[in-house]
């Protein structure tokens, strides 16, 4: 029995030491890594960020307006704005999920990427997102390459976006149908909408990390895959160019 326990303990101690040393090396690389985007990568990032932030900003503005109108006592108008926010979320979610899917695909092309931070669980309003973030942190410490950690984070972001969007659309639909004015329901929606904003921001940051690791040719291929406009057509949105066509 002892002959079996001692090798097992040595294996566990060795794994812990390996993870600690890998973590130290990662911290050193983190401080030394400077990712400079090429002009083409900067353009692609700007276009994607503009589209995503535009949609999430619309949601935030509409939600805030709905809350303020409700406080003034006009429930009908507040519900109308809330319903509009749900429509925007429902429309923008496939675009964001498609972007994450494309990021996962193109991450196979990279040899190295800047060190990736996990999603931290503090601050989320939805319990499922807190659990996902804890899972991300646990698996993050088990993996040793930045590429693996990046792919894990993108996967977690995709799951988080799906969960958050589904919750918001369902909860908003319930309030609209029942014409509910319960404070807790409205406040919960506002909190989860902030979770959606946070996941969107994390997705943009991850997209920037990916662009910094791709070659110029890969960036051009990525732009084509996302159906991004050319430099002369930067005013057009990702949605109008058919981002949701990718699967």
Closest CA to 112 of 209, 9, 228: 209
The string of pLDDT tens digits covering residues 19-68 is: 444 454 444 444 444 456 788 889 999 999 998 999 999 999 999 999 99
* Whether the predicted pLDDT of 119 surpasses 70: yes
- Structure token digits, residue 160: 């988080």
User: Does residue 134 surpass a pLDDT of 50?
Assistant: yes
* pLDDT 10s digits, 159-175: 999 999 999 999 999 99
Q: How confident is the model at residue 236 (pLDDT cuts 50, 70, 90)?
A: very low
pLDDT for res 127? 97
Rounded Cα–Cα distance for residues 79 and 64 (Å) = 12
pLDDT(199) > 70: yes
The alpha-carbon radius of gyration of the chain (Å, integer) is: 21
Q: Which one is predicted more confidently, 187 or 18?
A: 187
pLDDT at 227: 82
Is residue 153's pLDDT more than 60? yes
Among 29, 82, 86, 38, residue whose Cα is nearest residue 219: 38
Task: Tell me how crowded residue 94 is: count the other CB atoms within 10 A of its CB.
Answer: 16
Task: Taking residues 216-221, report their average pLDDT.
Answer: 92
- Cα(132)–Cα(119) distance, integer angstroms: 9
Residues 6+ apart with CB under 8 A from 126: 163, 164, 167, 191, 192, 195
**Integer Cα distance of 139 and 149 in angstroms:** 8
Q: What pLDDT, in 10s, does the model give residues 2-15?
A: 554 454 454 444 44
pLDDT value for 138: 96
Lookup: tokens for 174: 């319930």
3-class SS string, the chain: CHHHHHHHHHHHHHHHHHHHHHHHHHHHHHHHCCCCCCHHHHHHHHHHHHHHHHHHHHHHHHHHHHHHHHHCCCHHHHHHHHHHHHHHHHHHHHHHHHHHHHHHHHHHHCCCCCCCCCCCCCCCCCHHHHHHHHHHHHHHHHCCCHHHHHHHHHHHHHHHHHHHHHHHHHHHHHHHHHCCCCHHHHHHHHHHHHHHHHHHHHHHHHHHHHHHHCCHHHHHHHHHHCCCCCHHHCCCCCCCCCHHHCC
Evaluate whether 144 touches 109 at the Cβ level (below 8 Å). no
Tokens 């979320």 sit on residue: 89
Mean pLDDT, range 128-132, rounded to an integer: 97
């Amino acid at each position: 029995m002892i002959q079996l326990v001692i090798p097992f303990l040595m294996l566990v101690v060795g794994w812990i030491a390996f993870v600690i040393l890998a973590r130290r090396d990662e911290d050193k690389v983190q401080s030394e890594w400077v990712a400079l985007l090429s002009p083409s990568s900067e353009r692609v990032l700007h276009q994607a960020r503009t589209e995503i932030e535009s949609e999430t900003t619309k949601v935030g503005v509409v939600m805030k307006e709905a809350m303020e109108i409700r406080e003034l006592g006009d429930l009908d108008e507040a519900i109308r704005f809330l319903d509009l926010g749900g429509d925007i979320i429902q429309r923008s979610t496939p675009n964001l999920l498609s972007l994450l899917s494309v990021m996962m695909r193109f991450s196979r092309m990279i040899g190295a990427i800047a060190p990736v931070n996990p999603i931290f669980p503090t601050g989320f309003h939805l319990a499922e997102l807190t659990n996902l973030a804890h899972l991300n942190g646990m698996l993050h410490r088990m993996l040793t390459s930045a590429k693996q950690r990046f792919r894990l984070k993108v996967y977690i972001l995709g799951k988080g976006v799906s969960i958050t969007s589904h919750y918001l659309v369902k909860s908003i639909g319930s309030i609209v149908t029942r014409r509910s004015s319960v404070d807790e329901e409205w406040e919960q929606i506002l909190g989860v909408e902030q979770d959606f904003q946070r996941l969107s921001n994390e997705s943009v940051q991850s997209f920037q990390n990916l662009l910094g690791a791709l070659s110029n040719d890969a960036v051009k291929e990525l732009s084509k895959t996302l159906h991004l406009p050319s430099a002369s057509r930067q005013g057009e949105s990702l949605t109008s160019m058919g981002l949701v066509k990718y699967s």
